[in-house]
């Protein structure tokens, strides 16, 4: 299970304000990780109940990336994953299947990997 948190995009001039902005960004990432923890724990428990080996379930959260989709694709390649599962956003209907920006970029950027989009 992998989650990427983007760099917030503040300017990088050498001023005292950058240090303060970096601290705010770090606090936001820390809060996001705390909010994600219960979801990742629940997902891990579901995988264990479904029969996955505990040593095969890995959780990784990275911060400061410029592209969540690109980072996900690169992590999947580096880890030797044959499939990438991503969530989608939007409303799904038979004639209208909306997916989010990250899922769309993964679908178009992944090579030699199956991409599963799950609700």
∠ CA 37-38-43, nearest 5°, is 100
Say how many residues make up the chain.
Answer: 119
Closest to 73 (Cα-Cα) out of 61, 63, 84, 64: 84
Mind listing the pLDDT tens digit for each residue in 20-43?
A: 788 888 999 999 999 999 999 999
Query: CA-CA distance, 25 to 52, in Å (whole number)?
Result: 35
Question: What pLDDT was estimated at residue 8?
Answer: 80
Give yes or no for a contact between 107 and 95, defined as CB atoms under 8 angstroms apart.
Answer: no
Q: Tokens 């980072």 correspond to what residue?
A: 71
Lowest mean pLDDT among 9-18, 22-31, 98-107: 9-18
Share of the chain above pLDDT 70, in %: 86
Q: Is the pLDDT of residue 9 over 90?
A: no
Query: CA-CA distance, 98 to 46, in Å (whole number)?
Result: 26
Question: What tokens does 47 get?
Answer: 């995988």
- The answer, as to whether pTM is greater than 0.85, is no
Lowest mean pLDDT among 64-68, 79-83, 96-100, 111-115: 96-100
Question: What pLDDT was estimated at residue 23?
Answer: 87
């Amino acid at each position: 299970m992998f989650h990427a948190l983007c760099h917030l995009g503040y300017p990088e001039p050498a001023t005292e304000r950058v240090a303060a902005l970096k601290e705010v960004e770090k606090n936001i990432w820390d809060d996001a990780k705390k909010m994600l923890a219960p979801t990742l724990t629940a997902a891990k428990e579901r995988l264990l109940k479904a029969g996955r080996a505990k040593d095969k379930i890995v959780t990784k959260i990275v911060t400061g990336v410029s592209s969540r989709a690109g980072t996900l694709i690169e992590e999947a390649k580096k880890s030797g994953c044959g499939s990438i599962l991503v969530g989608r956003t939007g409303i799904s209907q038979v004639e209208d299947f909306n997916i989010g920006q990250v899922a769309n970029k993964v679908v178009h950027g992944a090579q030699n990997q199956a991409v599963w989009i799950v609700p």
